[in-house]
């Protein structure tokens, strides 16, 4: 049995599903076996897709208009189709760059294998760039990851405020645009410096100035 899935990126009516639906019906998908979503392709909560994947049975073929209608990105697409293949379900694309993909045919499997290789290549590039970025950050004295929102100027304000009994921690964090976790890593409840706070001020002193 052929099962179709269609998706438009906007739920405000500026995009319609007619083109995709007509293509699926022309390919032999029956109207009652077409599932749809009106959501961004990068959203995880796509109820139409979830229902579609649950409805598929061994021997069925999932049909989409174009590749980007199914996957959030290339890796998500490849993983989804691999999961379908493991369940004995085929995958077919009707138009666009993936129009030659039909995993129920030898040639289609070959084309999809190329896409899978590209996904692996993309993953390796991301890993390589991440490692290079962390190495460059360490060379500049940073450990890596997201930069702290805490600055020396914010730290001094936090020290002064935490020493006052009337200070409301939640309001202070909102004012400084930091989380409680970040605050307490740097400053104690009495306004005293904690290890991260000493490290931050020490770095500012060693650099010969301050940002506040």
- Positions annotated as catalytic residues are 9
* Cα 9 from Cα 146, distance rounded (Å): 30
CA–CA–CA angle 95, 96, 98 (5° rounding) = 90
The number of CA neighbours under 13 Å toward the Cβ of 59 is 1
């Amino acid at each position: 049995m052929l099962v179709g899935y269609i998706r438009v990126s906007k739920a405000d009516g500026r995009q319609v599903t007619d083109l995709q639906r007509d293509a699926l019906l022309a390919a032999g998908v029956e109207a009652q076996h077409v599932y749809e979503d009106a959501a961004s392709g990068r959203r995880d909560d796509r109820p139409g897709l979830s229902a579609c994947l649950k409805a598929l049975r061994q021997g069925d073929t999932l049909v989409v208009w174009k590749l980007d209608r199914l996957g959030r990105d290339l890796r998500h697409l490849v993983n989804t189709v691999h999961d379908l293949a493991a369940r004995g379900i085929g995958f077919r694309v009707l138009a666009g760059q993936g129009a030659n993909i039909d995993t129920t045919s030898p040639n289609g499997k070959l084309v999809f294998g190329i896409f899978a290789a590209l996904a692996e290549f993309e993953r390796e590039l991301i890993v390589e760039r991440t490692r290079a970025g962390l190495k460059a950050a360490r060379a500049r004295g940073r450990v890596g990851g997201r930069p702290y929102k805490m600055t020396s100027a914010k730290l001094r304000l936090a020290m002064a405020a935490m020493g006052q009994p009337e200070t409301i921690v939640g309001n202070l964090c909102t004012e400084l645009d930091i989380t409680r976790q970040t605050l307490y890593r740097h400053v104690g409840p009495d306004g005293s410096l904690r290890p991260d706070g000493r490290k931050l001020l020490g770095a500012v002193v060693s650099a010969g100035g301050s940002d506040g």
